[in-house]
Amino acid sequence: MATGLLIVNLGSPVSPSTRDVRRYLQEFLSDQNVITMPKMLWQPILRGFILPFRSWRSATFYQHEWTKAGSPLIAYTQVTRDRLRKKLPDWDVQMAMTYGGEYPIGETLQGMAARGDHPIVVIPLFPEYTQSTTKTILDKVAASGVKTLVIDQFYDQPAYLQLLAQQLDDAYSQDDYDTVILSYHGIPTSMVRHGDPYQQACEATTAGVKRYLKKVPQEKVEMCYQSKFGPVPWLKPYLRNRLMALAALGKRRVLVTTPSFVADCLETLEENDVQNYQTFRANGGKVFKSVRPMNGCAPFCDILASLAKEKVAAEAQNDETR
């Protein structure tokens, strides 16, 4: 019997073909934690308008980022898993994905339980909790019927904030920048109005990172949101609009980091490094540099391993006092 650890990321199409991307988008965009519109209204829009036009376009983006190892998000999650296995040699460390068909959450957990893993710690690889990512993971974990210990967010961990700050300081010291942007994946403002704590967590992440910065001037730091989807209002300021405004203001050297993404994916590699880069340059910007996400780096895996061990120790202590 071993202690189990399951890390969970969003997922990816199994290939960059239009057919596989369409299948992935249909699953993802049918999740009512992501799109809260009633199914009777949303599904005709999704199937009749969104999927026929968005699938082939998204497929071209996936084709640009695809590697020999497959999807970068999957590959870097595998790197994270493999590093954690070395750091936790007596544990059964596995990975799962919310969408995409590979590494299903329920089956993976049931397999771990069948091997006798106990306790099993689950860490969604989303630092800040939000309905549109973490809640679906928690729902699928609950549906598996396997008892688990869940760490549903870690944005407030000092070690994580210090690592983000160090990465930002290291990147900043390599060039001269007018503005440093912490860009988070956006969510609809309606979710925040209904109690989603994500915006508050993102603002706390930014404040926490700023406390640990040693080289980046505080006055150069700001935060934005990216990856808006659909016509409804999302959290602002929008990254793309802010980039255009900065260029117009003469702030033409920008450094961008993405604290809500722990692995490179479509949003970092295509949206930022291609589309937002091109937008910034087209409006007069000169330097647009992205700080790479954690991508399974050793210090990040150290943090995850420590969180898992602390969770198990705390649960054991609780059991003793019951």
Mean predicted lDDT score pLDDT of the chain: 97
CATH number for the domain harbouring residue 308: 3.40.50.1400
* Counts of helices then strands in the chain (DSSP H, E): 13, 8
267 marked as part of a ligand binding site:
yes
The count of structural domains within the chain is: 2
What pLDDT does residue 132 have?
A: 96
227 sits in the region (left: phi over 0; alpha: psi -120 to 50; else beta) called left
Are 173 and 311 in a shared domain?
Answer: no
Contacts by 243-247, CB closer than 8 A, 24 or more apart: 243/276, 243/279, 243/280, 243/283, 243/285, 243/288, 244/279, 244/280, 244/283, 246/178, 246/179, 246/280, 246/285, 247/280, 247/283, 247/284, 247/285
Q: What is the pLDDT of residues 10-64, one digit of tens each?
A: 999 999 999 999 999 999 999 999 999 999 999 999 999 999 999 999 999 999 9
Are 224 and 313 in a shared domain?
Answer: no
* Residue 77 pLDDT exceeds 80: yes
Return the SS3 of 258. coil
Any idea how long the chain is? 322
What pLDDT does residue 316 have?
A: 85
User: CB–CB of 205/319 below 8 Å?
Assistant: no
Are 11 and 112 in a shared domain?
Answer: yes
Are 128 and 144 in a shared domain?
Answer: yes
Domain range enclosing 100: 3-16+66-153+297-321
Task: Decide if 207 is inside a domain.
Answer: yes
What pLDDT does residue 322 have?
A: 63
What pLDDT does residue 71 have?
A: 97
Structure tokens given for 226:
């990216």
- Distance CA(228)–CA(235), nearest Å, equals 9
Q: What is the pLDDT of residues 159-217, one digit of tens each?
A: 999 999 999 999 999 999 999 999 999 999 999 999 999 999 999 999 999 999 999 99
State mean pLDDT over 251-259: 98
Structure tokens given for 235:
């959290």
Residue 101's pLDDT band (boundaries 50, 70, 90)? confident
Are 72 and 172 in a shared domain?
Answer: no
Are 306 and 206 in a shared domain?
Answer: no
185 marked as part of a ligand binding site:
yes
Non-local (6+) Cβ contacts of 218 within 8 A are 210
Share of the chain above pLDDT 90, in %: 96
By C-alpha distance, which of 268, 311, 302, 310 is closest to 80? 302
Task: Decide if 310 is inside a domain.
Answer: yes
pTM of the model: 0.96
Whose tokens are 């965009």? That residue is: 29
What pLDDT does residue 317 have?
A: 84
* Residue 252 pLDDT exceeds 80: yes
Helix axes 158-172, 298-321, angle to 10 degrees: 170
Task: Decide if 53 is inside a domain.
Answer: no
What pLDDT does residue 319 have?
A: 73
* Residue 72 pLDDT exceeds 70: yes
What pLDDT does residue 231 have?
A: 86
Task: Decide if 28 is inside a domain.
Answer: no
User: CB–CB of 257/216 below 8 Å?
Assistant: no
What pLDDT does residue 321 have?
A: 72
Q: What is the pLDDT of residues 107-162, one digit of tens each?
A: 999 999 999 999 999 999 999 999 999 999 999 999 999 999 999 999 999 999 99
